[in-house]
Amino acid sequence: MQDSADVVVIGSGGFGASTAFHLVERGAGDVVVLDRHDIASQTSPRAAGLVSHARTSDLMVQLVSDAAEKLMRFTGDTGQPLDWTRSGSLKVARRPQDVPVIAGDVERGRRLGLDVEEIAPEDAHRLNPFLHVEGVLAVLRVGNDLYFDPAHVAIGYARAAEARGATLEPHTTVTRVDIEDGHVTAVVTDRGTIHTPVVVDAAGAWTKQVAAASGIEIPLVPTRHQLFVTEPLDGVRAELPIVRVMDAAVYVRPCDGGLLWGGYEADPRMLDMNALGPGFAIADTPLDADVLRRLADDVAAQLPVLCTAAVREHRGGLPTMTADGQHIVGPAPGADGFFVAGGCNVAGLSVSPAIGDALAAWIVDGEPPFDLAPLALGRFAPDSIPQDRLERDAAWEYRHFYGAV
């Protein structure tokens, strides 16, 4: 393994691989990507692959819009395959208190140039016959939304980065980042040390652990998220819009002739990566089908198919939740050269093309390409969030991902 680099990226998931690709594209010099497992093999390929433009801030709508553009031209930009379908989506309110959220989504979306409108429940049923109108009070249609094959993105960016000169080092575990006089000097691994002035902690579920080894606190919590893929079903077409039920926090989209669906329970399982030990891989995450069955029961009136369709795949992973539901992107205060791309909040893969590009620009130019302060690590005062409060707030954000109040 080489002993020096201009930038070392820790982690080859969506966040790390996209950052590495954009670093090389922007002429950042000698870029090395380290991963404790196979390249792009952990949470990223297990995602649902949904892109959601209906977000709670202008910044996130703009980042998701940029990311969606990059996903749709992924093959042209990277030379790597990516299957995607711009199906649009339907966001469903079942409770009166959630209806104004949809009105707010329409206002923000129109102001920012999205194809959004509120439509009648019957029109939503016509667009996606698997959605029944019983108990549906309001529906937001988002024409810009799409879904993509989650297995393609991180590996595609990693391969494209390698083809442009980056070095990929799988099965290489970072044990510590050396920081001297407030500056990053080296990355220490189980295979040797790489001297570097810049490191990107994009270690997914291990992000907090990697930073903590160098005395940097990153308040996020690995949180289990799972989905089912059904056997093929009559009537499923790839263009059927994604459906999201707000208060139940359940989503469904077409997948290989069947449906892929999952959801966000109120009491998600949160894990301590230190307790899981060094041999743990995301494939070892204990899954629980009963969580998904309870969510299916909750939406049985609107999406009865979820209660009856035969399941052909059950998968899950460990996205990381933050106390305010926002990502953590940018430099670590007090550690010059230490950058973070984490706190994915179960939505990191879809926005990783834009986050990776923005972070690469920040590293190369020395300043952010636009105002990313709402995502700064510094918004959390060091040690200010006790673990129990972090977990409580993160669980609330998890359950309320679709803006239900």
Ligand X SMILES: Cc1cc2nc3c(=O)[nH]c(=O)nc-3n(C[C@H](O)[C@H](O)[C@H](O)COP(=O)(O)OP(=O)(O)OC[C@H]3O[C@@H](n4cnc5c(N)ncnc54)[C@H](O)[C@@H]3O)c2cc1C
Segment contacting ligand X by CB under 6 A, of 8-16, 123-131, 178-186, 390-398:
8-16
CA distance 234 to 282: 33
What is the footprint of ligand X within residues 30-89 (CB under 6 A)?
34-37, 41-44, 46-50
Segment contacting ligand X by CB under 6 A, of 115-123, 157-165, 202-210, 396-404:
202-210
Per-residue CA distances from 207 to 145, 221, 273, 378 (Å) = 29, 10, 10, 16
Among 15, 261, 362, 398, binds ligand X (CB under 6 A): 15
Total residues contacting ligand X by CB under 6 A comes to 43
CA distance 364 to 158: 19
CA distance 162 to 72: 21
CA torsion sign for 243, 398, 357, 115 is: positive
Among 22, 55, 91, 225, binds ligand X (CB under 6 A): 225
Segment contacting ligand X by CB under 6 A, of 23-31, 105-113, 203-211, 288-296:
203-211
Residue 14 near ligand X by CB under 6 A:
yes
Residue 275, classed as helix, strand or coil, is helix
CB of 96 to ligand X, least distance (A): 28
Contact 29, 6 (CB under 8 A): yes
Residue 19 near ligand X by CB under 6 A:
no
Among 226, 302, 322, 326, binds ligand X (CB under 6 A): 226
CB of 403 to ligand X, least distance (A): 16
Residue whose CB is less far from ligand X, 114 or 121:
114
CB of 3 to ligand X, least distance (A): 17
Residue 221 near ligand X by CB under 6 A:
no
What is the footprint of ligand X within residues 258-287 (CB under 6 A)?
262
Burial of 193 (0-12, 13-18, 19+ CB in 10 A): middle
Residue 398 near ligand X by CB under 6 A:
no
Among 350, 354, 360, 380, binds ligand X (CB under 6 A): 350
Among 7, 9, 11, 322, binds ligand X (CB under 6 A): 11
Nearest to 150 by CA among 46, 235, 38: 46
CA distance 84 to 222: 27
CA distance 22 to 171: 23
Nearest to 349 by CA among 119, 17, 35, 93: 17
Residue 108 near ligand X by CB under 6 A:
no
Nearest to 352 by CA among 202, 223, 230: 202
Residue 349 near ligand X by CB under 6 A:
yes
CA 388 to chain centre: 23
Give the residues lining the site for ligand X (CB under 6 A).
10-16, 34-37, 41-44, 46-50, 154, 173-174, 202-206, 210, 225-227, 262, 316-317, 319, 342, 344, 346-350
